Structure 1
């Protein structure tokens, strides 16, 4: 009853207090002009005083008799009043005692009365609820900074003499910023903070922005063209050294010229085992290179013009390839590698000229001197395959070689018994008929060249591709049988077919590895290695899961097994190198690829969250299911890589496996969050997965480093027994030192698992922003300008524009 009477009397006062608090929390007081602020303070005090007086007059204290009466009215027969009664006639006999007993029983079940202030009748327009909403929003979204500003503004208004209220300045008469071009990665300079007389050194193309807050200030300059027609606010593009003056303050400006970029090729292009070209390059620029490309043209002067190359070549455009620009702590100097598969290009294995070009932020171009080289491509060692590739090259060189190519094909297919398989023989005879039928157009030539390439690859691989295809077909049949709930006999039969196809594929792969004449080119080939026993163990595990009826798990393991077999290099069971440093390096490379894919997936989840916010809460762009599927595939790939990690039984190896297990669980949680349409929750779990993967890779790297040290020590011990081997120990020390330095140079991570500068500085010693860092001043200004632009776009949803206006009011 006390609360009821207080609420009835003082709800207007509470509503006014809540509204005034919200005005302070959202910065409304600080935004009011001085005259309006004085009226606001006066009106608020009068309203609060009136509400307090009105409530005090209406409030009455609650007496005990009123409380008992309120409770008694809720009970049948009003037992509390009856218990205080006395019999008027007849005395207090048995009948009276029975009456009292009945009243006591009714009074014993009394419960507290539910309060009802009746505010709905007293406040039909629900003004109290509006004030409550304003208070809650202020507590959630308001800030102490805005309240402090409001209190400060109020205090300054009250303490300022009346005669000086209008004439006193409230801030600087001008503000200015010097923003270098984005590609220079230099921070924005706040001109008001510069000491008097300090020289302002800026890159060419910097933009000087100014804002004038009084009518007397002016800007004069001789450093470049002015942008825009605004008198009180505008921009100047700095093109030459000179001076400019703002509101009587002079600034001396020195413009730094922008030098064109320099690019050069590194070592000569090399050929990887898979036929890809690897071309190192280096690039330099005073502010960093923004794009680069490689142009490859035919070096006709150095081509041996004989046989099929004697004819005039058909014109072809130069090959244009974009160079990948790696991230570097020093953007003015970078190095990288161009890796491209040009094995199928008509110029493969022919002399070409390589020219590199680089472009900086303002479009200046730097070109390296052209270099002569042989365009790397795949080599074929089977005689018939090599002949087919030469015929293909001649046809792509010039269609005038059609007659000559037909004669060569007739020669290599003469008496094919025991030399050319029947299927291939029929294909080659069909090619002869096409070549002899008449002139070839470009489409027919390209189609024939593709057929010759496939035939040569089939001959070179010795049927390995067919064996792989048979194994994949067997796996697909078994997967379909598991999904459709086939009988155990049918599943077992398909399982036996898969085992036979797998055995044939691995045996052919092993035999090809022993007899491959191109073995010297496969030293750096990044392929998974696995022993025959490991393959059998995986097949046995699939069999066990099916026998236990765990078909879903068996199918998942079967899919992982199929992906693993597609990129397999079989090793002998007794080969110690099967799990040596080479396998460790391959595992490290595979984990690095998976880590990059996880980071890319996390970025896409972030964009998905942004799109959901833009569309309104609860709406999705429809991309979450695709992201979840990709997350699942990435988790399965990580599980496969974990099973192939070396160092089982060692501390570092077990630690690496544990970290990858943690990463797998985090990926699974992220997948579930994506399927539930919660990209925000998925991002957190993806960040956990990235961190766990990095820790696992660090443990694996420590293990490989210890193995390297042991091998170095063994080499040193063996070298001391012979002559000329005393340099082994110093080299080992150098390697260990390099590994230690690389570990010390590991970059730190941001909350999403991305790499950032390890020292946390915004700028490098030369005043340039570190790579990947953001200029805080420029970022703040650009964000504020973008918020203003979007808030003025009437085509945007009203809810979004209201949110942007609240951001503008706050910041």
Structure 2
């Protein structure tokens, strides 16, 4: 016990008390931390309910071990514990003060007691020490136990207790009482409960076993069955043959096992039940190539594939390996190739919708790969949520890649392939390239291409002489690729020559009365040559750094500004005149178009009509988005009209026209897509007001996909993260448009509407990324702020609001112009819910409304 200091004591009470309790805490903690750790671990296990997860025998064994450990730790602590005495407390407090004042106050004068001066000096010394004692602070206890508990077992026990309090329940401690012999009374009687939990990836609900009245239960493979027995231990027992395991303790209070095969489950005892269990096997996924691989103009491969699984495909891979048996081992391929790993790419998965059965397209560009145009085998593999693989039969094909039609460019690409095939071909490649460049005047159209070839050739010969390394080989291969592109695409003069040649061929066809198919083919060639010429013209303007705007001049001297859409409309007009047989007018229009193209000049940073290339791209994508929205609205109205025949003859209470008003027959008084111009391109509807079928909608969807593909070719921001993100989003939009077109041709309007919604979302994402890329580009090229401000003054979106700055599609103005947007959104959501609750509506329409509610 700690004795209180007397009033005559020179030491204050509070510091002495606090120091004494600190010493008591030190000794208690140092002697009893083991027993505290055992108690905390035991409580943590009980609160977490671990006793309910094991057999009762294990609970008894663990309880006995814990009790013995606690008693042993308590005895060890009591044997070494001593209460702090007053002398120890005074010594601890005195040791913390300078000069040990407490000892000085309590000491007596040993010598000089008869000398008054000596006595006075001693008393003065004691008075100074008494002042120090009265101001003495309490001594802090030393509670560190690292030397006694080097493995921090006490902290482990404390952590377990904290976790148990957070995630467990204090009421679970009482379940231990039910496990003691004789705890369950006879009046209560034994009982049981159980659950069947299918694998989470199946999406099936958990079944309560006591509610299953059927004698045969059908469950998915891998389902988890959990049983709890209550009451007297041993009154109930379990017998089962579905897990393939032997039940070690039939009378255990809890059982959990996985269903791996068909069998029987039986609970013996009061309230006995039994079931036959059949399992639904989880089939591995199926995947196969759904068509032939195609290549676009840029060299990207498109390989369609179809995949399916009973619970959905999670991921997939495509492994492309060289087919050595089908390879023609001649020329540069006669030597043994250097080892090269197969190409592995991830297969695209649907972003939204069901993955139980779907079709997608693998789009990759292998134009620069050494195996381009060589025979390969493509192995497609799909995996489901259970990690079961499904593999398609090997698909053999020539690896699609960009084709080079210029003979010289094709020869350079072939030598590049031979060099990448093996470095042993380096002398042969150098010899062939030197032979190609022997008479440059007869082969090369551009002096730049010839000089680049000679530089690359000298570097290759030098590297080969001193030992060609892998890095040097890749450097030469990249230089040859760039040279082939230059030879194939050519310069501005080459593009102009192709444009003139296309115009001459078209003019010749007009004179000779060519067929409609031939005219359409020549017009497509003219469009491609025009796009190529515009790109070369823009690239030349950027290289020259022309910052002045020099628009075209008309005959009257006034400036004439043309956009790319104007050029497209002129070519559409030429084709329309030829199809109508008005060849003289078409010839005159073609001559005017040719003269205008030869006199055209594109300035850097600004295109026709004072717009930059990025702004034109943003406007084109915005127009495509509006067209897609209009096409989706028409598909939705057609879906409504399928289940509302009254809308075909007049107005209807539940039908809305495509222009947002009430239904007025099949025309709806609206123009989808781009308004009247779009209607003209698709053909005028008859006077009878016949509604365009899904075939016409599919044709318009295809035309919109082709327009998006054309816009992707000249998209700015290449090489930046934002620009690459925009291209990836537009690729997804294109795939969604393809899916919408297929659905429309199959009269699947709900599926088409879903894919159109995916396309619009991907278009918006692409426009956002493109806007960010243009904003960063504009920040790096200041000085156009005044011109941009002037252009934005006259730039408004279809709703009459100012468009966002720096090429973005956002705006600071509200869409509803003063209305409460949240109120309006809630009204729309309530209307969808109201219609989805009307059971008299057709099932197809109700399914579509439910999908809208799931999405929003």
Structures share fold, TM-score greater than 0.5: no
Larger Rg: 2
Q: TM-score, normalised by structure 2?
A: 0.41
Q: TM-score, normalised by structure 1?
A: 0.43
